[in-house]
Amino acid sequence: MGKNNSGPIIRMATSGTHSAGGIECCYCRCCTCIHIEFLKSLPGLLKLAETIISGLIQSLLINYGLRYSTSIGSAFEGALTTSSACFLTSSVLLACYIVSEKSYRLIRQSLFEMMFNALACFLYLSSASYLAFSTKIFLLPDYYLKPGFDVYPAMTAAYFMSGLVGVIHGVDAYYSYSSFRSGR
């Protein structure tokens, strides 16, 4: 009786999200390396929403809150750091998933995807609550006293969207965990 030292066998099953890769043009498919079908799946919609909302939060923080970052304090820095890091990571993952079905199948069920989404959920929810507190304490009085004070509504939108994208990352973490546990 011999010992088999070949190691584990990894089999990758097709997931169905990329069954028709490329862009349909007339009667043929072009750019078959691009998998637009991924964006029609639930993981694709979640990753697209995470990327877009993170970019919007970052834009609001830079365009409106940067001038008042000393007033808002470390809540601004935490929210900007969270949105920047998560925007970069989500956009890289989204690009990888759109370009490569193999990357999608390998990364999606990995520990990285699950841990990233769980950490992003925690960071967004904690930075949203801290930004909400700082916005109410430090910017609300100026909003009522100075006409045209547009930073308060922008920071309010930023912390609402941070809470929303935190929940979306939480849902994505759950589906990543399900995919990680099932191995598909």
User: Residue 20: left if φ>0, alpha if ψ -120 to 50, beta else—which one?
Assistant: beta
**Across 80-100, average pLDDT:** 96
Extract the tokens encoding 112.
Answer: 């990285």
Q: Check residue 1 and give its pLDDT.
A: 54
Reported confidence tier of residue 33, pLDDT bands at 50, 70, 90: low
pLDDT at 18 over 70: no
Reported confidence tier of residue 144, pLDDT bands at 50, 70, 90: confident
Read off the DSSP letter of residue 39: G
For residue 140, count CB atoms less than 10 angstroms from its CB and return exposed for 0-12, middle for 13-18, buried for 19 or more. Answer: middle
What one-letter code names the amino acid at 162?
S
| Cα separation values, 106 from 10, 11, 80, 126, 171, Å | 11, 11, 30, 30, 19
What does residue 24 show for φ and ψ, rounded to 5 degrees?
A: -75, 125
**Across 152-169, average pLDDT:** 96
| Confidence (pTM) | 0.81
Maximum mean pLDDT: which of 8-17, 30-39, 44-53, 150-159: 44-53
Read off the DSSP letter of residue 148: T
3-state secondary structure 56-82: HHHHHHHHHHHHHHHHHCHHHHHHHHH
> Which of 14-23, 36-45, 55-64 has the least mean pLDDT?
14-23
Pairwise pLDDT comparison (38 vs 33), residue with the higher score: 38
| Cα separation values, 57 from 46, 116, 118, 139, 146, Å | 16, 18, 19, 18, 24
For residues 127 and 139, give the distance between their C-alpha atoms in angstroms, rounded to a whole number: 17
Contact (Cβ atoms closer than 8 angstroms) between residue 162 and residue 152? no
pLDDT at 79 over 50: yes
Domain residue limits, the chain:
42-182
Reported confidence tier of residue 24, pLDDT bands at 50, 70, 90: low
